[in-house]
């Protein structure tokens, strides 16, 4: 599984990366992006299976990134998970409408992220 982490905080990306590595889920590669534009560029050049993205990012927000993904058949079926401090119902509804399947509110429990990783890994095997 190839995972892309998009968050403007390098420390948060490092935490998420550490949780992924400790999850015992087989991961081929973990890519990192500091904003939505960088994430989009990586999506164009790599075959990504799971996107973990923040919402509030400079240059391009997570919401606009999801819009770009939803508008391109190339990324149909891409697993997207939001990891954000914004836990409002309207934001959750907005991202669900843009096909984000999971929403993790910061601060988050690592085991919740691990559950999602396990599910995605399982779906890729089947």
Partner 1 sequence: MFSLKSLEAFDLEAADALLAAIRAVAEENFFAITVPCDAGTFAELAVRQPRWLVARVQFEEGPLAGSVSCTLPEELAHVLLDAFSGWEPSAPAPTYDQVLDLVGEFSNMVCGSWLTRITRHQAFTLSRPVVEPALAPAHADGPRLFVAVRDLPLAVDVRLQSVTQDVRPEGFV
Q: In the window 9-28, what residues touch partner 1 (CB under 8 A)?
A: 9-12, 14-15, 18
Q: How far apart are CA 83 and CA 22, in angstroms?
A: 18
88 is a site residue for partner 1 (CB under 8 A): yes
Residue number with CB closer to partner 1 (2 or 37):
37
Beta bridge partners of 3: 30, 50
The binder of partner 1 chosen from 32, 68, 99, 105 (CB under 8 A): 105
Q: How far apart are CA 113 and CA 126, in angstroms?
A: 20
Q: How far apart are CA 35 and CA 15, in angstroms?
A: 17
Residue number with CB closer to partner 1 (7 or 48):
7
Q: How far apart are CA 74 and CA 91, in angstroms?
A: 25
Give the residues lining the site for partner 1 (CB under 8 A).
8-12, 14-15, 18, 56, 58, 84-91, 94, 105-109
């Amino acid at each position: 599984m190839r995972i892309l982490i998009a968050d403007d905080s390098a420390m948060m990306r490092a935490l998420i990366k550490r949780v992924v590595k400790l999850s015992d889920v087989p991961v081929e590669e973990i890519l990192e992006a500091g904003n939505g534009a960088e994430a989009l560029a990586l999506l164009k050049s790599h075959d990504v299976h799971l996107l973990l993205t923040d919402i509030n990012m400079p240059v391009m927000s997570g919401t606009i990134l999801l819009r770009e993904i939803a508008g391109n058949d190339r990324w149909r079926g891409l697993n997207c998970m939001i990891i954000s401090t914004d836990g409002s119902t309207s934001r959750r509804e907005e991202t669900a409408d843009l096909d984000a399947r999971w929403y993790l509110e910061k601060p988050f429990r690592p085991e919740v992220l691990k559950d999602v990783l396990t599910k995605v890994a399982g779906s890729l095997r089947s």
